[in-house]
Amino acid sequence: MDALDAKYPFFAAAREAVADAAVSLPKLVAADAPAVERGRERVERALMDGTVESESGTFPADSEYDVQAELLSYPIARILVSLLDSEPAIEKYAAAEAATAVDRVRDDLAADDELRSVSTPTVALDDVLAEFDLADAVRPDSPRRASGAGSGRDPAHYWVDVGPYLRLTSPSWGASWRLVNRALADGAVRVSREELLDALEAAVEERVREGLPFELAAGEGIAAELEEGVADLKRLLSERSYAGPIDVVAPELFPPCMTNLIEKAERDTDLSPPESFALMAFLVGIGMTPDEVVAFCADTSLDAEGIRYQTEYLKDDRGTQYPPPTCETLANYGICHNEADHMQVAADPLAYYEKRVAAADEIADWRDREGDEGGGEGDEGGGEGDEGGREDDESGDPGETATPDEAE
C-alpha cells in the first residue's frame, strides 16, 4: 500500500492493497489501532463538516496519520456509518468522501510534473477517468477549437458521451446542466474542465454509497467492539441537531456569509455547488418552505427548479436531521470570512442567526412583508398542490448484505 491508495481508498488498486495486506479489521478494532481512531474522525468530520480530511492536516503532507492508518480508516468508517443505522448519515458520508476526493484530484492536477515525487504520488485525469470506465466516453476538446491556456496538455473543455453525462449529472444542478442548454455534437456533450470534475465527484459518491449499509449484528463481533465509538457519534449528532426550525425570516439578521451569497446571486453571478448548498440548507433550516425559497430567490441567478429540488431534499426527513456546514467548513470553501469576528458568537450560521433573532427587540418576518406587498395577486408559491411532498420512498431497503471484510 502507498500514499496514492490512502488518498483514494475507493479505487480498485486500494481495495487490492488492503486485501494483499491481509489485515484483520476485527483485530485492528480490538487493539484500538490508529486506523480506528482515524475512522471515527473520518465519519465525524463527514457528518459535521462535509469533509473526511483529518483535523491534523491534509494527507499526506500534514496529517498525523501514516499511510496504513489512512487507508484502513476507510473500511472502518464504512462499518461505523453502517452501524449508525441512518440513511442521512450514509448520504452525508458518501458526499463528504466524494468532495474530499475531488479536492485531492484538483490538487494533483495542479501539481507540476517536475515536483511530483515517490513520497507524494498524484493521479492524472486519465487515471480517474479509467477508474470509472470513462476513458472512452470523455475526450479533450479539439486543440483546433481550444486556445490559450486551455489548449495542449490541460484542455479547458471536454466532450462527454451523452449516456455518461446524463447518468452523472442532474438538471437540479442548474439550468446550464440541462441537455437542451449544452453544446451537443456526435452524441457527446461539451463541458468545462471544472464541470467534468463535478461529474466525477458524482461518480465517486455513487461508488462510496454502493453497498451501504452493511447488515451487522448489533452487540456481536466487530459491531460490539465499535459500540462505544458509534454511541459517541450518535451523541454528537444529537447535540448538533436542532429541535426544530427557527421559523422566522428576517434577512437583516442573516449571518454575513449568507448575506454575501444572496447579494452575489442578486448580481446574477452563479453560485458554486458548495455555495448553493450552504445557502439552501440555511434557508430551509430557518423554516422556509421550498415555495418560499423560490420566491425569496426569484430575482437572483439561482434556478427555480434547482432550488425546489435542493430544498425539497433538505426539507424531508433526511435533510433536516443535520444542520448546515459550520463556519469553519464554510471558511475552507472561501464562503465565510469571519466578518466582525462572528465565529466567537456562534460556530455555525443557524446558531448565529438564532442568537440574533433572540436578541432582537422587534422582528418583521419577510413572509408577512411579501404578503402585504403581494396583495393576493399571483401567489406563485401555492395553488398547485404540495409540490414539496415526495412520493418516492428513498429510505428503503439497503439492498445488500456485507461482512466486515467486504467494507474494504
Q: Name the least confident of 153-162, 178-187, 205-214, 293-302.
A: 153-162
- Give the pLDDT band (50/70/90) at residue 407: low
Do residues 59 and 45 lie in contact, with contact meaning Cβ atoms separated by under 8 Å?
no
* Structure confidence at residue 111 (pLDDT): 82
399 found inside a domain: no
- Assess whether 65 and 107 both reside in one domain: yes
- Assess whether 289 and 224 both reside in one domain: no
169 found inside a domain: yes
Distance between CA atoms of residues 163 and 179, nearest Å: 11
pLDDT digits 0-9 by tens, 264-283: 999 999 988 888 888 998 99
Q: What is the mean pLDDT of residues 379-400?
A: 39
400 found inside a domain: no
Q: How many CB atoms lie within 10 A of CB 235?
A: 10
- Give the pLDDT band (50/70/90) at residue 142: confident
Is a pLDDT exceeding 80 seen at residue 187? yes
- Give the pLDDT band (50/70/90) at residue 343: confident
Do residues 1 and 67 lie in contact, with contact meaning Cβ atoms separated by under 8 Å?
yes
367 found inside a domain: yes
pLDDT digits 0-9 by tens, 218-267: 777 899 999 999 998 888 776 555 545 678 999 999 999 999 999 999 99
Distance between CA atoms of residues 314 and 291, nearest Å: 13
* Structure confidence at residue 315 (pLDDT): 66
Is a pLDDT exceeding 70 seen at residue 347? yes
* Structure confidence at residue 88 (pLDDT): 80
385 found inside a domain: no
* Structure confidence at residue 22 (pLDDT): 85
- Assess whether 150 and 95 both reside in one domain: no
- Give the pLDDT band (50/70/90) at residue 348: confident
388 found inside a domain: no
Is a pLDDT exceeding 50 seen at residue 103? yes
Is a pLDDT exceeding 50 seen at residue 196? yes
- Give the pLDDT band (50/70/90) at residue 334: confident
* Structure confidence at residue 143 (pLDDT): 56
Residue among 236, 210, 232 nearest 98 (CA): 210
- Assess whether 185 and 305 both reside in one domain: no
User: Cell 419577510, residue?
Assistant: 366
Q: Between these two residues, 69 and 114, which has the higher pLDDT value?
A: 69
Residue where a domain stops, chosen among 189, 206, 223? 206
| Range ranked top by mean pLDDT from 141-155, 174-188, 302-316 | 174-188
Specify the number of domains making up the chain.
3
- Assess whether 7 and 28 both reside in one domain: yes
Q: How many CB atoms lie within 10 A of CB 232?
A: 12
- Assess whether 230 and 191 both reside in one domain: no
- Assess whether 291 and 330 both reside in one domain: yes
* Structure confidence at residue 320 (pLDDT): 41
- Give the pLDDT band (50/70/90) at residue 138: very high
- Assess whether 169 and 195 both reside in one domain: yes
Distance between CA atoms of residues 202 and 173, nearest Å: 11
User: Cell 489501532, residue?
Assistant: 33
- Assess whether 347 and 279 both reside in one domain: yes
What are the cell numbers at 101?
Answer: 476526493
Distance between CA atoms of residues 208 and 52, nearest Å: 13
- Assess whether 84 and 9 both reside in one domain: yes
- Assess whether 301 and 357 both reside in one domain: yes
386 found inside a domain: no
**What kind and span of H or E run contains 40?**
helix 34-49
Residue where a domain stops, chosen among 187, 206, 225? 206
Do residues 175 and 271 lie in contact, with contact meaning Cβ atoms separated by under 8 Å?
no
Q: What is the mean pLDDT of residues 149-168?
A: 81
- Assess whether 346 and 272 both reside in one domain: yes
- Give the pLDDT band (50/70/90) at residue 87: confident
Q: What is the mean pLDDT of residues 28-56?
A: 92
What are the cell numbers at 208?
Answer: 462510496
Q: Name the least confident of 116-120, 121-125, 126-130, 340-344.
A: 116-120
* Structure confidence at residue 316 (pLDDT): 53
Q: What is the mean pLDDT of residues 163-191?
A: 91
Is a pLDDT exceeding 80 seen at residue 15? yes
> Could you please report the per-residue DSSP string of 126-148?
HHHHHHTT-TTTEEEPPTTT--G
* Structure confidence at residue 404 (pLDDT): 39
What are the cell numbers at 3?
Answer: 500514499
404 found inside a domain: no
How much is the mean pLDDT over the chain? 82
Domain membership of residue 106 as a residue range: 3-116+213-238
* Structure confidence at residue 254 (pLDDT): 94
